[in-house]
């Protein structure tokens, strides 16, 4: 099956582009000795885990189900962080995870003995209270009143016995200069306790595979923690693993006019690309331009009843017509993991495009996938 033959809507992950990202990440690991694990919250397409596992150290999870997925489908290092753990899940989490990272001293004290008895590594998330983001408060773990991590004011050194590592996560689609700024805050606030640790986790949000990313500065930051404190360094990017490696293929169902051209697609911003509304951002669309840049401009929207189910305004060389196929880029990350069946919208099929350009549909979804989520 060729790319243009896949059913729509359909996520298509390009194996070659994914591997290109993985080689970049593997290069950072080889040059510095750090370990990089996949943050499954961004990309959980486990069909690709054997390929991903060839290049990086393992997976990280936000709870039991992701932890199980990483354990079962990649089977390498398996880390987990959650804002709080459930008592009826913690035993299974400990049994399948290597690093269990706690969000607070109360959670640490509640479950630490179980972690240590099982021979696993206990970590604590810290909050350096260093915001480096602009315009994305919803993704800023250092915002005032954040529920993530222990701040210096509430840090309890006397409760660190058995803790072997510290974890912070402050970035979102950012470059290494913001990591450097964050590390200075981490050292300023938590430096006295770094020498007694074995490892440190820089969290995610590092856009390492983006063209303008400063990899030398990243590697300098990694070596700084290794050389100053003798720490093993972990990074857990999700976006960087599958950045620009996926597409969403969709079909034009109708066109109309209301002060401008409008096209209704068989996909949905709300259901299939929710970050378009949450960030917000305008996803790239192959062969299009910005509004007014090309002769024919359309507002692209979905089939749902949500008035704001709009992907964005795009321009084209020719008028759109029913049956035209449109291909959105960068649709591997935060898509499959966040999609919904709101309004009974079908979930997109999932396909892999191999190195020869051939596509294989891995899974298609239907009515039962919608119904099974309800009662």
Residue 114 has pLDDT above 80, yes or no: yes
Q: How confident is the model at residue 279 (pLDDT cuts 50, 70, 90)?
A: confident
- At 348 the pLDDT is 98
The topology (CATH level 3) of 33-242 is TIM Barrel (3.20.20)
Residue 75 and residue 48: Cα distance in Å, rounded? 13
CB 125, CB 169: distance < 8 Å = yes
Report the half-sphere exposure of 83 (CA within 13 A, side-chain side): 4
Residue pLDDT, tens place only, 32-77: 999 999 999 999 999 999 999 999 999 999 999 999 999 999 999 9
When pLDDT is cut at 50, 70 and 90, the band that residue 1 belongs to is confident
pLDDT of residue 334: 96
Q: Give the CA radius of gyration of the chain.
A: 22
287 near 316, Cβ under 8 Å?
yes
Domain extents in the chain: 3-11+246-331+339-371, 33-242
Domain 3-11+246-331+339-371 maps to which CATH number in 2.40.37.10, 3.40.190.10, 3.40.50.300, 3.90.550.10?
Answer: 2.40.37.10
pLDDT confidence bin for 287, thresholds 50/70/90: very high
pLDDT band at 353 (very low <50, low <70, confident <90, very high): very high
Out of 79-83, 215-219, 271-275, 277-281, least confident range = 277-281
> For residues 42 and 24, what is the distance between their CA atoms, to the nearest angstrom?
18
pLDDT digits (tens, 9 = 90+) for 235-248: 999 999 999 999 99
Kindly state the tokens that stand for 168.
């912070």
pLDDT at 135 over 80: no
DSSP string, 317-374: SS---TT-EEEEES-STTSTTT---GGGPPPPEEEEE-TTS-EEEEE---HHHHHTT-
pLDDT at 137: 81
Q: Give residue-wise pLDDT tens across range 296-309.
A: 999 999 999 999 99
- For the chain, the average pLDDT equals 97
pLDDT of residue 133: 85
Residue 20: is it exposed, middle or buried by C-beta count within 10 angstroms (0-12/13-18/19+)? middle
Q: What is the pLDDT of residue 186?
A: 98
Give me the residues paired with residue 289 across strands: 315
pLDDT over 90, % of the chain = 96
- Give pLDDT, residue 168: 98
pLDDT at 243: 98
What does each C-alpha distance from 226 to 5, 26, 87, 98, 137 come to in angstroms? 50, 18, 35, 21, 31
């Amino acid at each position: 099956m060729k790319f243009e033959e896949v059913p729509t809507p359909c996520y298509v992950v390009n194996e070659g582009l994914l591997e290109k990202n993985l080689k970049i990440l593997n290069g950072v690991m080889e040059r510095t000795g750090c370990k990089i694990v996949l943050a499954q919250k961004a990309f959980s397409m486990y069909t690709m885990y054997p390929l991903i596992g060839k290049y990086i150290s393992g997976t990280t999870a936000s709870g039991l189900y992701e932890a199980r997925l990483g354990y079962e489908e990649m089977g390498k290092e398996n880390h987990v962080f959650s804002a709080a753990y459930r008592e009826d899940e913690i035993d299974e989490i400990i049994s399948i995870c290597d690093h269990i990272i706690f969000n607070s001293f109360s959670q640490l004290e509640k479950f630490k003995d179980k972690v240590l008895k099982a021979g696993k590594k206990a970590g604590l998330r810290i909050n350096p209270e260093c915001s480096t983001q602009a315009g994305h408060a919803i993704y800023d773990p250092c915002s005032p009143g954040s529920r993530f991590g222990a701040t210096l004011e509430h840090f309890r050194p006397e409760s660190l016995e058995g803790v072997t590592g510290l974890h912070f996560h402050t970035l979102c689609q950012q470059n290494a200069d913001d990591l450097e700024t964050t590390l200075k805050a981490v050292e300023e606030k938590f430096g006295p306790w770094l020498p007694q640790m074995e490892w440190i986790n820089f969290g995610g949000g590092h856009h390492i595979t983006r063209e303008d990313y400063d990899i030398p500065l990243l590697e300098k930051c990694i070596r700084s923690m290794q050389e100053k404190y003798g720490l093993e360094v972990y990074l857990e990017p999700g976006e960087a693993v599958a950045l620009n490696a996926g597409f969403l293929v969709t079909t034009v169902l109708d066109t109309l006019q209301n002060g401008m051209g409008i096209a209704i697609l068989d996909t949905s911003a709300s259901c299939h690309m929710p970050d378009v509304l949450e960030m917000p951002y305008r996803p790239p669309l192959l062969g299009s331009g910005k509004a007014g840049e090309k002769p024919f401009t359309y507002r692209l929207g979905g089939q749902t009843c949500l008035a704001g189910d709009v992907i964005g305004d795009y321009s084209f060389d020719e008028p759109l017509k029913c049956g035209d196929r449109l291909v959105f880029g960068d649709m591997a990350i935060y898509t499959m993991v966040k999609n919904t069946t709101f309004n009974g919208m079908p979930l997109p099929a999932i396909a892999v495009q191999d190195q020869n350009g051939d596509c294989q549909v891995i899974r298609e979804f239907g009515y039962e996938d919608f119904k099974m989520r309800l009662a």
